Chains A and B, each alone.
Chain A
Amino acid sequence: MPKHTLESWFAGRATILFQPILEIAEMETFAFEALSRGPAGTPIENAASLFELVRATRQEQRADRHCIDLALRTASRADTTAAFALNVHPSTLEADGGFVEFLAATLARESIDPRRVIIEILEEPRHFDVQRVAAVVRELQHEGVRIALDDVGVGLWNYRVVAQLSPDLLKVDQRVVDGCATDGDRRSVLRSICLLADNIGAELVAEGIERDADLEVVAGLRIRYGQGFLFQHPGPLAEVVERPFVSQIPNAAATKEMACRERRSSSWTTPTRF
């Protein structure tokens, strides 16, 4: 089998899981992030290993297309009106000249409205042409697709690039979110990202929420969306659609009320102090 097919996306055994992203004020599903997994029982089963191989063999474009194709085929059969977040390497947006057409054709084939799609641009430890990627981002946004930047806060996204790409969403890295309730430095970083998002007109997704106390901080800072094991682990789409919450979230009602209150507040500069 030719290498460029990634061995028929690993002999048809690669799978896709989904994790809910919730609107905190409503405690309702806003979107599902599609997460690829390699064939079970192999060294590339987990996502890190799978994409370690993809990047070592410079097959990001092929892998991204395979993942998107599988995710949207799965999404089209799901009983949900939520959006779907699809991961894409910046190198794919830079170098895959047919990507916008591919995405449009795939959405049309599956009868999915582009406004239900969020392209999550991954962090990639490789230089890319920001202007070229920004141009593709504009094309996608013109089609109604939303753009998110993944893992903001600890890695490679600098303010200049964030401003040039002008995303609709910033996904705050879980290493900033996890433990923010007891770490003043993390809360400072969160506030900084909130200010950035506010100034560029982007919404925020706090990733890796695993504790109630961290959710409280996130809600108090008026971060609109949350994702993490506190809500649900990645799973087959049908399962997470039916059950977006792994268990009853303690203080959910209080958190929801606080999030609603903070969003109605007219001044972001006086968020709840922690």
Chain B
Amino acid sequence: MSTGSVSETRRMLVVDDERVIRFALKSYFGEHGLTVDCAAERDEALEMIARTNYDIVIADLRLSGTTSEEGLDVIRAARRQSRDTRVILLTAYRTSAVDERAKDLGVDMLLHKPKPLAQLAQAVFSLLAS
């Protein structure tokens, strides 16, 4: 799998309420030269976005409970912070309404969850290389 040309200074934020997912993505992308921060909930993510310019943010749509769409708040904040930040939204609950709102907010990729690691990595590195 190609990792593209990623410098060690690239910063990633992973926003997901599942500990296993945060651990897996932090471990994997950390080994591939990214500095990875994690947030388990929306407010934590918003604070981190306010403090740091991330090159890429991966956010789950539903961060608390089964009906929340707090991932969209994370995207909105990331977009406001920097137009250069790439944003990936992950969701197992994709609808046309969610698609529409995510695109309006400027999401770069909307991926169905679970996305196998290699495919997710390909998406990340292709966005960082673009």
Contact = CB atoms under 8 A, between A and B. Distances in A.
A48 interface: yes
A41 B113 contact: yes
Nearest to B31: A56
B19 A7 contact: yes
A3 B28 CA distance: 12
A1 B38 CA distance: 14
A41 B114 contact: yes
A45 B27 CA distance: 15
B110 interface: no
B24 interface: yes
Q: How large is the interface on B (under 10, 10 to 19, 20 to 34, 35 or more residues)?
A: 20 to 34
Interface stretch (B4-12, B66-74, B96-104, B116-124): B116-124
A43 interface: yes
A183 interface: no
B115 interface: yes
B21 interface: yes
Nearest to B26: A3
Interface string A202-235: 0000000000000000000000000000000000
B32 interface: yes
A49 B19 contact: no
Interface in A7-52: 7, 10-11, 13, 38-39, 41-46, 48-49, 52
Most chain B CB inside 10 Å of its own CB: which residue of A1, A13, A44, A52: A44
A173 B114 CA distance: 28
A108 B116 CA distance: 37
B120 A43 contact: yes
Contact of A49 (B18, B20, B31, B116): B116
A41 B24 CA distance: 13
B27 A57 contact: yes
B20 A42 contact: yes
Given A10-B20, A52-B117, A52-B118, A43 B27 contact: no
A112 interface: no
Contact of B117 (A7, A13, A41, A44): A44
A70 to B, nearest CB: 16
A155 to B, nearest CB: 17
Contacts of B19: 7, 11
Given A39-B20, A42-B20, A49 B118 contact: yes
Interface string B79-121: 0000000000000100000000000000000000111111010
Contacts of B20: 7, 10-11, 13, 38-39, 42, 44
B32 A43 contact: no
Given A7-B19, A10-B20, A53-B24, A45 B31 contact: no
A39 B21 CA distance: 9
Contacts of B13: none
Nearest to A59: B27
B27 A42 contact: no
Ranked 8 nearest A-B pairs via Cβ = A49-B117, A43-B117, A7-B23, A56-B31, A49-B116, A39-B20, A44-B24, A57-B27
Given A7-B24, A56-B31, 11 more contacts: A3-B27, A43-B24, A43-B116, A43-B120, A44-B117, A45-B116, A49-B116, A49-B118, A52-B118, A53-B24, A53-B117
